[in-house]
């Protein structure tokens, strides 16, 4: 049976607003210099369960390990009007549209570890962002 609309299966409500993100790749027993570097990106799709990161993957060979969750991503989310960033450990759920020149792509991240306080701050941000001003 065809549905007249596409149903979205999301656990959490998302907000589509650009938010800066700092992120770092994390893996046990890896000594590559790229693991010491903090990268900057943005998200325009965030919820209490994860976010869409527009950013750089410095080594394309990492893609299988990212998808197999052998490499995780530590994120600092810089919500407007917050003094401290929200910190979370995330796993890569999917990767799309890699630009080979800039090495920027869309990376779907699902939070693996985030404090209840930080998740609540995201919920509050999502709710406030959807209210008429």
| 34-68 confidence digits (pLDDT tens) | 998 999 999 988 888 999 999 999 888 999 999 99
Domain 19-130 part of CATH 2.40.10.220: yes
At residue 4, the pLDDT reads 45
Strand partners, 20: 42
pLDDT tens for 1-30 read: 444 434 444 455 455 678 999 999 999 888
CA dihedral over 77, 79, 83, 86, signed as positive or negative = negative
pLDDT of residue 16: 61
Q: Which two tokens stand for residue 82?
A: 């917050």
Assign 133 a pLDDT band (cuts: 50, 70, 90): low
Residue 15 DSSP one-character state: B
Whether 78 has a pLDDT exceeding 70, the answer reads yes
Q: Which residues of 79-88 are buried (b: 16+ CB within 10 A; e: fewer)?
A: beeeeeebeb
Q: Give the model's pLDDT for residue 97.
A: 79
């Amino acid at each position: 049976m065809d549905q007249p609309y596409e149903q979205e299966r999301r656990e959490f409500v998302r907000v589509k607003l650009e938010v800066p993100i700092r992120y770092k790749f994390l893996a046990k027993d890896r000594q590559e210099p790229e693991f010491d570097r903090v990268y900057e990106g943005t998200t325009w799709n965030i919820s209490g369960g994860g976010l869409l990161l527009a950013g750089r993957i410095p080594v394309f060979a990492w893609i299988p390990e990212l998808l197999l969750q052998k490499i995780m991503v530590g994120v600092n989310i810089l919500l407007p009007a917050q003094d401290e960033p929200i910190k979370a450990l995330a796993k890569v759920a999917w990767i799309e549209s890699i630009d080979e020149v800039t090495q920027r792509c869309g990376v779907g991240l699902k939070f693996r570890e985030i404090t209840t306080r930080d998740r609540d701050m995201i919920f509050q941000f999502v709710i406030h962002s959807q209210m008429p001003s």
